[in-house]
Amino acid sequence: MALFINTNINSMIAQRCLNGATTTLQTAIERLSTGYRVNKSGDDAAGLCVAEGLDTQIRGNKRAMLNVEDGLNMMYITEGGMTNVTEDLQRIRELCIQAANGIYSDEQKQTLMNEIKERLADIDVIASSTTFNGMELTNGSNPEVILQSGAGSDAACNTIDVTSAMTNMLCTALGIALDIVGIDEANSGDLGEDYMDVGGGYDPANPPKVNGSNWTNEAIRAYLDKISAAIDKISQDRSTLGAYQNRLQATADNLAIMNENYERSKSQIMDVDMAEESANMVKYQVLQQTSAAMLAQANQIPAIAMQLLQA
């Protein structure tokens, strides 16, 4: 083998191996420090593109899950109002059944009516005060509520319209208002749209007020039907609300499962195998040391030429 002084090929080979071992060792240390296999695009260009797409879906799903939780919270508040209104209606029905018993005087029926009117006032208060984020839910304002339940822009697959779950619990809407008695001019005894009929004459300029003296047993029983209808309506509305709650909960569960799978896929691309990378680090540490030792030996080879000259 020829001996050269100006060009030390062995040294160049050792330098290249040392640089390679050092660079790979630095990569191993970086991966072990960050926990990621891909820290820059050059580590895995195609994998990084896929991982970023998965991350976009993951973050979108997380936001959609929060949207669904907000929707559920709104429905829980709505149902709480419905529950209290149902309790008021049940109590009013009990009082009506009691008042329809013919043993009570007008004064005694008036005491029963006083509680009924207070319960009706409470129903209107609940209907007006059941709100979420400033949105009135149960007073007939009928807000449009469309939840963004997915991470995409396709409305058919990524939104849920829960507007129909909102209801109107005002006494006038339920047909159980009791302050003014609506009576037709023919005195037929038919009930009005929203009010209870007590029979007798009707003066449009001075409509009669319901009180213990003009609240007949027949009128009480007719009003009892209205209360029962109102209870049925609230029960049906709660059933509809419950169906939406179940759907939203199922949507939240599905989003959670999707994110688990997305995270698993992203992890296989981005996360480092700590055991494998630890072994690589040890291997390249040894290669770095041996390359440095060989570089020192290679740098000594041209010195042999001095021995030839001295001879």
pLDDT digits (tens, 9 = 90+) for 233-242: 999 999 999 9
pLDDT band for 194, please (50, 70, 90 cuts).
very low
Count, residues in the chain: 311
Domain boundaries, the chain: 9-35+272-310, 63-270
pLDDT at 197: 43
The β-bridge partners of 159 are 148
pLDDT band for 196, please (50, 70, 90 cuts).
very low
pLDDT band for 204, please (50, 70, 90 cuts).
low
Separation CA 122–CA 191 (nearest Å): 24
76-99 pLDDT tens trace:
999 999 999 999 999 999 999 999
Strand 159-161 with 146-148, pairing: antiparallel
- Mean pLDDT check: name the lowest of 25-34, 68-77, 253-262: 25-34
Helix (H, G, I), strand (E, B) or coil at 148: strand
262-286 pLDDT tens trace:
999 999 999 999 999 899 899 989 9
pLDDT at 106: 87
Average pLDDT over residues 34-63: 92
Is the CB of residue 122 less than 8 Å from the CB of residue 88?
yes
pLDDT band for 207, please (50, 70, 90 cuts).
low
Which among 106, 56, 81, 21 has a CA at the least distance from the CA of 262?
A: 56
pLDDT at 206: 64
Separation CA 266–CA 56 (nearest Å): 11
Superfamily of domain 63-270: f41 fragment of flagellin, N-terminal domain (1.20.1330.10)
Average pLDDT over residues 52-56: 94
pTM equals 0.76
pLDDT band for 9, please (50, 70, 90 cuts).
confident
Separation CA 191–CA 200 (nearest Å): 13
DSSP 8-state symbol, 135: E
pLDDT at 303: 76
pLDDT at 166: 87
pLDDT at 260: 96
Dump the DSSP string for 33-100: HHSBS-SSGGG-HHHHHHHHHHHHHHHHHHHHHHHHHHHHHHHHHHHHHHHHHHHHHHHHHHHHHHHT
Long-range pairs, 49-56, Cβ under 8 A, ≥24: 50/269, 51/266, 51/269, 51/270, 54/262, 54/265, 54/266, 54/269, 55/266, 56/151
Please determine, for residue 104, whether its predicted confidence score (pLDDT) is greater than 90: no
DSSP 8-state symbol, 213: T
Q: For the stretch 223-246, what's the b/e string if a residue is b when 16 or more beta carbons lie within 10 angstroms of its beta carbon? A: bbebbeebbebbeebbeebeebbe
Please determine, for residue 311, whether its predicted confidence score (pLDDT) is greater than 70: no
Please determine, for residue 30, whether its predicted confidence score (pLDDT) is greater than 60: yes
Which among 207, 200, 218, 217 has a CA at the least distance from the CA of 180?
A: 207
The rounded percent of the chain whose pLDDT value lies above 70 is 89
Which among 152, 186, 113, 162 has a CA at the least distance from the CA of 258?
A: 152
215-235 pLDDT tens trace:
888 888 889 999 999 999 999
